[in-house]
Amino acid sequence: MKIKVLFLFVHLDYGGAEVGLLTTLKNIDKSRFDCSVVSIEKKGRIAEEIEKLGFKVTCLDSKARLFNISLIRKIALILEKEKPDILHTSLFYANFFGRAASLFCNPRFIVTEERSMYTEKKFYHVILDRILAGFTDRIIVCSRSVLDFTRKQEGIAEDKFYLIYNAVDAERFNIPGTKEALRKKYGFSGEDFIVGTVGSLIPKKGHRFLIEAVKGLDGQIPRLKTLIIGEGESRAELTALARSLGIENKVVFLGARFDIPGLMKAMDVFVLPSLQEGFPRTLIEAMYTGLPVVASDISGIPEIVREGEDGFLVPPGDPEALKNRILELYNDKPLRGDFAARSRKKIESAYLPKDYVQSLEGLYRELTERRGGPQ
């Protein structure tokens, strides 16, 4: 009998956790696991891809706001109808509503996900998480840093956690076409030196420090282009910053994109200037693409990037350090090649979908076998 898993997410638009769900469903053993997905607020691009794979996606068309009683009731009704062996939720609001609804219909097992070090959590968020952890069988974390932070922040026993590092959707990133052909497609030349980053345009992603670093590189890298891929609340502010620094011709805001594999392949260097992260999927995607990386020395990033061996780590919020490392890579093409080769090899060794899904399937089996297998 198959193990029945119901995934609950706030939305199924483009985002790290959502891309992770899509990668999981592409690779999970469908002969052993019966999966369905519920989105609280909206479907979006990821939902379309999930439905193409043949999985059922239900959208509740509700607002994920604390103590939305009607939403708790909607989720409880779905759980009562579907009777999953495992309810698997991701990120704070899905974790809260899924577990709150479960108090009324008691699914056999509850698995939640924490994917970053949430220093911005309000005290009542922490209290709710701490209470609901008592009704949770496992909390999946994407890095040792996230595990340690969440355990201390919420006072949760370490044996409640289950560490699985993020994985690259290798199928999606193995795209045809040469770097030169992709540059031509996107309107760039072979002489351009292209630096890029991917992430929501929000303050904690640190885009302003990359833009300030680009200002410092003005005149030192003649044909520098900086691609900023993502959308968010800071876009107008960041656009204005680039304009005020006189480098709007060097910084290209591309918005939210689904053709990230092609854009990454067209780059020379990938930069992640974040102030807060867990274990960033975009970073391992860039490394799998074969890009040298410059990233903030924070959270789970040093768990994947070794300073000076397969990338550079810089202090967060330091545009001067970013500038210097980008310039070093520009001036040292052999070093770029060495970093790229080592990065690709590292990701292939342990961060592919089969690695992630095998660990997740192992967790599901471990839980259900405690009570005699699937119901």
Identify whether the C-beta of residue 374 lies closer than 8 Å to the C-beta of residue 47: no
Burial class (CB in 10 A: 0-12, 13-18, 19+), 190: exposed
Q: Could you say which DSSP state residue 69 is in?
A: H
Note whether 3-167+352-369 and 171-350 share their fold: yes
- Position 195 confidence tier, pLDDT thresholds 50, 70, 90: very high
How does strand 269-272 pair with strand 161-163? unpaired
Domain 3-167+352-369: give its CATH architecture.
3-Layer(aba) Sandwich (3.40)
Q: How far apart are the first and last CA of the chain?
A: 8
Q: Could you say which DSSP state residue 190 is in?
A: T
pLDDT of residue 325: 98
pLDDT digits (tens, 9 = 90+) for 201-257: 999 999 999 999 999 999 999 999 999 999 999 999 999 999 999 999 999 999 999
Can you say whether the dihedral through the CA atoms of 189, 190, 195, 199 is positive or negative?
positive
3-state SS, one letter per residue, for 294-320: EEECCCCHHHCCCECCCEEEECCCCHH
Domain boundaries, the chain: 3-167+352-369, 171-350
Which residue in this structure is represented by tokens 């974790």?
95
Angle, to 10 degrees, between the axis of helix 16-27 and the axis of helix 45-52?
0
How far apart CA 339 and CA 74 sit, in angstroms, is 50
If you average pLDDT over residues 113-123, what whole number do you get?
A: 84
pLDDT of residue 372: 66
pLDDT of residue 69: 93
Q: What does 17-30 look like in DSSP terms, one character per residue?
A: HHHHHHHHHHHS-T
pLDDT of residue 106: 80
40 alpha carbon, distance to own chain's centre: 19
Taking 70 as the threshold, does the pLDDT of residue 316 lie above it?
A: yes
How far apart CA 207 and CA 214 sit, in angstroms, is 11
Question: What average pLDDT does the structure give for the chain?
Answer: 95
CATH number of 171-350: 3.40.50.2000
